[in-house]
Structure 1
Amino acid sequence: MAPSNSDLLARRAAAVPRGVASATAIHAAKAENTELWDVEGRRFIDFAGGIAVLNVGHRHPKVMDAVQRQMALYTHTAFQVAPYEPYIALAERLNALAPFPGPAKTILFSTGAEATENAVKIARAATGRSGVIAFAGGFHGRTLLASALTGKVTPYKAPFGTMPAGIFHVPFPAGGISVADSLRALELVFAADIPPEQVAAIIIEPVQGEGGFRVAPPELLRALRAVCDRHGIVLIADEVQTGFARTGSLFGIALSGVTPDLVCVAKSLGGGFPLSGVIGRAAIMDAVGPGGLGGTYAGAPVACAAALAVLDVIEEEGLVERARAIGARLRATLEAWRGRADLVAFGAPRGPGAMIGFDILEEPDGAVRAGGAAAICSRAAELGLIVLSCGVQGETVRILVPLTASDALIDEGMGILEQALLARA
């Protein structure tokens, strides 16, 4: 007899530390494209996509076929021991797709945090400097340096003592903070904390993920590019959540017309298999000598095979254009609901492409309701929809539906979300 969700919750409590949290009490048994079934046989529509990992859906047939073919050959050699073509072929594909001109090179890892940390290492090696500028509300991972880069204290920093030195944060333009305010704060950091000549990199998400799906204004990105050019600083685009068609562009930063120097990728690149990387200008990438970068499982062959299939699917199925169509559909539905007296108050939907978030409010046109998104997500799960919260105050509901979802399933999921948003007496 299969275990129940409650059985697994009890076993989890005894075996797994509480530091790793789960958004739902659903324990997965199987999944296909945009649908997931739990161990009790209940069906859910997936608007989370494994936290932006499944742009091509659960178990896309082309990805599964590529993985099975690779598994029949070899699963691991360590690229540092016996390199293999799938790694090289994927690097070639990513170099050709890089959102900047000129020669590019790519190194592969396993997780998003590895990508952001190694981007910092590469920038430091290339510049001979150590300082890094990041943004409040940004999320760059949970390892120690990535936590230092992340612009949120709880839960990512508070219990872990002193963070690595040389990381400085400036406000992100949101919640009454303008681009001019952010740039003034950056100049203040240069005046009060670290001169620009000692800064190796500025790292920014084109759209803040955990920070609430807040878009970096193009004028901010243009100004950062100018600052970096003026002072010899490396501009790092953290595309871990925004990459691979989610924003209606292969990379989110391309929507601004700004070209970065390094790009961190992960999540949907692997189509459900652990894979990340840094794509960068070749001269910067080659600043680190042999042995300075890598990892035992970095760029694992099965994950590389999956990623090559993911890139094929994005191109063949027109997922960049599909993301725009899905986003338009989601925004139109949410806008039609806004102001309804029978629904919880929520703000205007935001985000490019199919990266859509909206804030739960105390009242129409009022302040955000801190922690308000969690209750909506919990109700949605009870009704058969997996959707996630985010935001600095836990105020944002975010939608990350696979880009391979049919209109019918999207509409079904939105119908469940509508029920979850009904105001309670």
Structure 2
Amino acid sequence: MSAAETLTVAPVGGPTLPQERKLATAIPGPKSAELLARKSAAVAAGVGHTAPVHTIAAGGGVIVDADGNSLIDLGSGIAVTSVGNSHPKVVAAVQEQVAQFTHTCFMVSPYESYVAVAEALNRVTPGDHEKKSALFNSGAEAVENAIKIARKFTKKQAVVAFDHGYHGRTNLTMALTAKAMPYKSGFGPFASEIYRAPLSYPFRDGLSGADAAKKAISVIEKQVGADNLAAIIIEPIQGEGGFIVPADGFLPALVEWARANDVVFIADEIQTGFARTGEMFASDVFGIVPDLITTAKGIAGGLPLAAVTGRSEIMDASHAGGLGGTYGGNPVACAAALASIDVFENDGLIERAREIGAILTSRLTDIQARDARIGEVRGHGAMIAAEFVDPETNEPDAALTAAVAKACIAQGVVVLTCGTYGNVIRFLPPLSIPDALLHEGLDVVAAALDAA
């Protein structure tokens, strides 16, 4: 990378940080090691971490640590900082709001920014029907409330989630989540009336979308029954489950069945939402219109905010006081969300996600062509994954995946693993990352795989 490229800040915003990978020390360096020792002594052991660094700044496509290392960020804090860390519009909006007031509780004395976020979500989410929104703090909280709303509206109790799904770490959302370790093991008993159906996983099941949907619907009808079913909840592209992209036709068939049987279709777009897939929402990729949609992560440029948005008649099913929470729709987070939505809509981030996706897909398929340990490259937009397998058996290779990820981090590239079998590396770079930095990060990934 030339000196000029090194100093280029990504065009869509972020603090003025050199856009470079720089290893001033081994990772972790001494200051990071000191913080990790303090973490071990003060923070509960169940709170893990991926990269052993002491972050002091981030922006564009880099994370800077206290030891002077600059790491390429291919994770965005798990798809949260999609607009880029400390985007100038977000920073300005937050600073202005903090100077006015930080909290009143919307349920005590309402304020305009909550209403404006709801209006924006009603406008940008899929479908042109009349919608309403309610704001919360986290993705898991949004999912819990979507289930509450669906049950209240339908006066039914059962909920179907899908294989490989991830919906959160609270009691109800753990029940919805498919993976035991590390999310569920030892934390039961879980909420009742939760059932699981098979997902379309083309790489492993070989089924068409229509056949996979027929199989799932058969399970639902036989094991649950439409008369008992309040809602189906599904990530249009699985997140933690491995960035599994369902076969064409799978999701539309589920939506059609749900509508015909008075079942609420909930799209969990917490990881896939807000330009991440090259559309504003992944539902748009598949041409579906959910009844309810849950959002969080990228919604507010790094501040905690979440929402349920959906058909007005469903959203209005709850009695007054049945929805809410002390911090839900906090004014500072709402200010950040309004600025972030402005950036997504007006600063070319949907197009940028497609450009990033083209680079990721091209580079990873090139690596796959010469290394059969990559079983599949899949995804949409800036949400791309590589599934690692034993080339002889096609069985998942979690050990290889972990080794590659560990080597990447040691070389200054933050990557995240996922998948039910722990054999997937997911690429979620901030949409502010420069091309040169993205290519360099992928060079490191390729070298780590070669060395593994």
* Counterpart contact for 2:143–2:268, Cα < 8 Å: yes
What's the offset of the Cα at 1:311?
A: 0.9
* Counterpart contact for 1:371–1:393, Cα < 8 Å: no
* Counterpart contact for 1:110–1:299, Cα < 8 Å: yes
What's the offset of the Cα at 1:423?
A: 2.9
* Counterpart contact for 1:130–1:199, Cα < 8 Å: yes
Q: Deviations 1:47-101 (Å, cap 9, x if unpaired)? A: 0000000110111111111111111101111101111111101111111112022
Aligned pairs (5 A) from 1:279-318? 279-318=309-348
Residue 250 of structure 2 corresponds to residue 220 of structure 1: yes
CA distance in 2, matches of 1:415, 1:96: 40
- Counterpart residue number, 1:402: 430
Residue 168 of structure 2 corresponds to residue 141 of structure 1: yes
Give the gaps of 5 or more residues in structure 1. Answer: none
SS in 2 for 1:206: coil
When residues 170 and 419 of structure 1 are mapped into structure 2, their CA distance, relative to the original with a 3 A threshold, is same
CA distance in 2, matches of 1:297, 1:207: 29
Aligned pairs (5 A) from 1:344-383? 345-363=373-391, 366-383=394-411
Match of 1:183 among 209, 214, 218: 214
182-191 or 393-402, which deviates more: 182-191
Residue 68 of structure 2 corresponds to residue 41 of structure 1: yes
CA distance in 2, matches of 1:345, 1:365: 10
- Counterpart residue number, 1:387: 415
What's the offset of the Cα at 1:33?
A: 2.2
Residue 444 of structure 2 corresponds to residue 422 of structure 1: no
CA distance in 2, matches of 1:365, 1:64: 50
- Counterpart residue number, 1:266: 296
Name the % identity. 45
372-381 or 109-118, which deviates more: 372-381
7-16 or 248-257, which deviates more: 7-16
Considering only aligned residues, what root-mean-square deviation do their CA atoms show, in Å?
1.6
* Residue type at the aligned position of 2:364: L
* Residue type at the aligned position of 1:19: G
- Counterpart residue number, 2:129: 102
CA distance in 2, matches of 1:18, 1:360: 29
* Residue type at the aligned position of 2:328: A
Q: Deviations 1:337-377 (Å, cap 9, x if unpaired)? A: 2243xx68213310011100001222378332134322211
Match of 1:131 among 132, 152, 158: 158
396-405 or 213-222, which deviates more: 213-222
316-325 or 412-421, which deviates more: 412-421
What's the offset of the Cα at 1:185?
A: 4.0
SS in 2 for 1:184: helix
When residues 257 and 293 of structure 1 are mapped into structure 2, their CA distance, relative to the original with a 3 A threshold, is same
359-368 or 66-75, which deviates more: 359-368
* Counterpart contact for 1:250–1:320, Cα < 8 Å: yes
Q: Deviations 1:23-53 (Å, cap 9, x if unpaired)? A: 1212211112211111211110100000000
When residues 97 and 163 of structure 1 are mapped into structure 2, their CA distance, relative to the original with a 3 A threshold, is same
* Counterpart contact for 1:347–1:365, Cα < 8 Å: no
What's the offset of the Cα at 1:134?
A: 0.5
100-109 or 214-223, which deviates more: 214-223
Aligned pairs (5 A) from 1:190-209? 190-191=221-222, 193-209=223-239
CA distance in 1, matches of 2:216, 2:368: 35
CA distance in 2, matches of 1:13, 1:149: 30
Residue 179 of structure 2 corresponds to residue 152 of structure 1: yes
* Counterpart contact for 2:295–2:306, Cα < 8 Å: yes
* Counterpart contact for 2:90–2:336, Cα < 8 Å: yes
* Residue type at the aligned position of 2:324: G
CA distance in 1, matches of 2:414, 2:45: 21
SS in 1 for 2:380: coil
* Counterpart contact for 1:344–1:423, Cα < 8 Å: no
* Counterpart contact for 2:161–2:195, Cα < 8 Å: yes
Question: Number of matched residues?
Answer: 420
CA distance in 1, matches of 2:419, 2:270: 17
What's the offset of the Cα at 1:140?
A: 0.4
When residues 3 and 72 of structure 1 are mapped into structure 2, their CA distance, relative to the original with a 3 A threshold, is farther
* Residue type at the aligned position of 2:263: I
SS in 2 for 1:279: strand
* Counterpart contact for 2:237–2:243, Cα < 8 Å: yes
What's the offset of the Cα at 1:218?
A: 3.6
What's the offset of the Cα at 1:161?
A: 2.0
Residue 355 of structure 2 corresponds to residue 325 of structure 1: yes
* Residue type at the aligned position of 1:142: R
* Counterpart contact for 2:213–2:253, Cα < 8 Å: no
When residues 67 and 344 of structure 1 are mapped into structure 2, their CA distance, relative to the original with a 3 A threshold, is farther
CA distance in 1, matches of 2:302, 2:334: 11
